[in-house]
């Protein structure tokens, strides 16, 4: 059982809930991803920042973001399930795919949000979640995104603020949407989400790393 799953089970038991909702699994059809919806002048960005539940909210709040989708990327297994990814053997990492209107919000804006919502100093881990499925990464879709991402990373390194910046910048491969119960988890299950986020120490660590630049 993954650390995340164990924490959620603990929450349910602590609240004395007698039943656990049974969620239907959504198809991991990659054609349903945001990448197939760019015909209206929209663009796609893909970021891995640990638990994908926690990476949807900061982007959903941005004007110009059309949608966010939690999923898996960077591995070698087609149509992976959450259980497979959580086992750590697929090579995939949890990520969010963002469909946005570049006329309203820029890729640079998305990078600004990304960095202050992750801990870039640790490898194969984010906060309480460990394993390569929680590694951080920027998955670029074109040369411009690559250049902007690499420049931003280098700028962080040059500041000397962190002892190391291990977040990967790599070409996007096939993005597989996660099961439906993971989508908009923070809205569907606000109590469980808030407890998980608090117990994981995410906000405290982000404030420690980024100070005033991080906003809860």
Q: Which of 51, 54, 128, 200 is catalytic?
A: 51
Instruction: Enter the tokens of residue 161.
Output: 């603020």
CB-based contact 192:102 (threshold 8 Å): no
Instruction: For residue 51, indicate whether it is catalytic.
Output: yes
Burial of 163 (0-12, 13-18, 19+ CB in 10 A): exposed
C-alpha to C-alpha distances, 107 to 51, 172, 206, nearest whole angstrom: 21, 15, 22
Judging by beta carbons within 10 Å of its beta carbon (0-12, 13-18, 19+), is residue 95 exposed, middle or buried? buried
Calculate the alpha carbon distances from 176 to 79, 129, 135, 170 in Å.
6, 21, 17, 17
Contact 97, 169 (CB under 8 A): no
Catalytic residues: 51
């Amino acid at each position: 059982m993954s650390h995340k799953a164990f924490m959620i089970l603990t929450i349910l038991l602590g609240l004395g809930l007698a039943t656990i909702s049974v969620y239907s699994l959504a198809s991991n059809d990659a054609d349903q991803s945001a990448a197939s919806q760019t015909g209206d002048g929209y663009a796609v960005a893909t970021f891995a920042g640990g638990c994908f539940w926690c990476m949807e909210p900061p982007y959903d709040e941005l004007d110009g973001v059309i949608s966010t989708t939690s999923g898996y990327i960077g591995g070698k297994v087609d149509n992976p399930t959450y259980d497979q990814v959580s086992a750590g053997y697929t090579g995939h990492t949890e990520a969010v795919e963002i469909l946005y209107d570049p006329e309203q919000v820029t890729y640079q804006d998305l990078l600004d949000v990304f960095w202050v919502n992750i801990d870039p100093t640790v490898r194969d881990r984010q906060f309480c979640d460990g394993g390569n499925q929680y590694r951080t990464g920027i998955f670029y879709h074109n040369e411009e995104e690559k250049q902007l991402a690499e420049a931003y990373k280098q700028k962080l390194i040059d500041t000397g603020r962190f002892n190391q910046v291990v977040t990967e910048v790599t070409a996007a491969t096939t993005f597989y949407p996660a099961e439906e119960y993971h989508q908009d988890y923070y809205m569907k299950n606000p109590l469980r989400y808030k407890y998980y986020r608090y117990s994981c120490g995410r906000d405290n660590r982000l404030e420690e790393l980024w100070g005033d630049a991080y906003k809860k």
